[in-house]
Amino acid sequence: MGFFDDLAMGFGQKPKTKDYEARTARTMAKTNPQAAEQYRSSRGVTSADIGNMDPSSYVGYQSLADMFDGGGPSRSGARFSSQNTGAFDINNDGYVSEKEYVSAETAMPEMFSQTQGGIAALSNAFGARPRGSYAQERGLGAEGINIGTSGIADYLAGAGMIGSFIRGGAPSSLQRVEGNVPLGNSLDPAAVQFFNEEAVEAPSLMDRLRLTSGSAGSNVDLSKIGGVLDRTSTNAPPAPNPPVVVDIPLRRTPINVAPVEQLAYGGIVSLGRR
């Protein structure tokens, strides 16, 4: 097995062998022993497989969608995983449910921790849920768990405080499988029906802001606001007083006639009298 063969297997141009994976783990162990051990565990090889030319038994991601549907490579799940979770899939249906994850976390803590690394660990810490996991849990019926988002992902999925106010505090369809069922409860159809019937429908934003007389949830009676919003009301305010008009006599300015004009005026009158 030469350099170019290793290069081809590294870039996916040639099927990997157990020898290649064992030698890769040996190289990783020089700088990161813990990562090398996780790699050996995920590939199912040991140092004794160096020289073993059998094809690799590791099954990786099958598609881009396989990377976002949780459950690790070649599976889907209620959580994100970075390694093979076949040991967790008790009923071997290809979907690692929330109940199976909880069981693995308790019964196989070391193996469980090995599947929680890289981007998968960040996604789980972010509080996100894999694509399609809500429908999968709902389809399990009584075996399904009402899962939902948490942390930052929950805030974004619910559109923050504004979204919560518009929905009257109820979670959105992105935040929980069943909005009226408490998180962690079984999705037994009878239980889901019970919680849905018991739930009180919260008023919408428009119901809260609607200021119409007699509307449900309105605390304002517009008929009592006389003369402002209801012009037909008998409680209209009194008419304003008429303006006060004060008659101020005009001051007549006396006409001042120049002395010369007065003399001429007097002469004409005198002549008329003569």
Residue 55 CA to residue 49 CA, distance in Å, equals 11
Co-location of 33 and 137 in the same domain: no
Residue 246, CA distances (Å) to 6, 161, 239, 240 in order: 110, 62, 21, 18
Q: Note whether 131 and 171 are within 8 A (CB).
A: no
211 in any annotated domain: no
d(CA 41, CA 33): 12
At 74 the pLDDT is: 86
* The amino acid at 67: M
Confidence at residue 187, expressed as pLDDT on a 0 to 100 scale: 96
Q: Which of 183, 198, 213 is the last residue of a domain?
A: 198
- 134 and 18: one domain? no
Strand partners, 176: 148
Is there a domain that residue 268 lies in?
no
Contact between 96 and 71 under an 8 Å Cβ cutoff? The reply is yes
Burial class (CB in 10 A: 0-12, 13-18, 19+), 127: middle
- The tally of domains found in the chain comes to 2
Tell me, yes or no, whether 230 lies in a domain.
no
Rounded CA-CA distance 133/165 in Å is 26
Instruction: Give the pLDDT of residue 142.
Output: 95
Q: Looking at the structure, do residues 42 and 127 belong to the same domain, yes or no?
A: no
Tell me the C-alpha distance between 57 and 43, whole Å. 7
* 236 falls within a domain: no
Give the end of a domain, one of 154, 169, 198.
198
Q: What is the pLDDT of residue 180?
A: 92
Whether 147 is covered by a domain: the verdict is yes
The contacts of residue 1 (CB under 8 Å, 6+ apart) are 17, 19, 20, 53
**Same domain, residue pair 118 and 86:** yes
Give a yes or no: residue 252 inside a domain.
no
DSSP the chain: --HHHHHHHHTTSS--BHHHHHHHHHHHHTT-HHHHHHHHHHHT--GGGTT--SBP------STGGGTSSSSTT-EESS--SS--TTT-TT-SSEE-HHHHHHHHHH-HHHHHHTS-HHHHHHHHHT---TTHHHHHHHTGGG-B--B--HHHHHHHTTHHHHHHHTTTPPPTTTBSSTTSPTT-B--HHHHHHHHHHPPPPPPHHHHH---TT-TT----GGGSBTTTBTT-S-PPPPPPPPP----PPPPPPPPPPHHHHHHHHHHHHHHH-
In the numeric block, the tokens 């870039």 are attached to 11
User: What's at 234, amino acid-wise?
Assistant: T
Q: What is the pLDDT of residue 235?
A: 56
Mean pLDDT by 10 residues, the chain (274 residues): 79 84 91 85 87 84 85 93 89 94 92 88 95 96 96 94 87 93 95 87 59 49 46 57 61 52 46 45
Query: Does some domain include residue 244?
Result: no
Question: Do residue 69 and residue 194 come from a single domain?
Answer: yes
User: Can you give the residue range of the structural domain that contains 84?
Assistant: 65-198
Q: What pLDDT is attached to residue 1?
A: 60
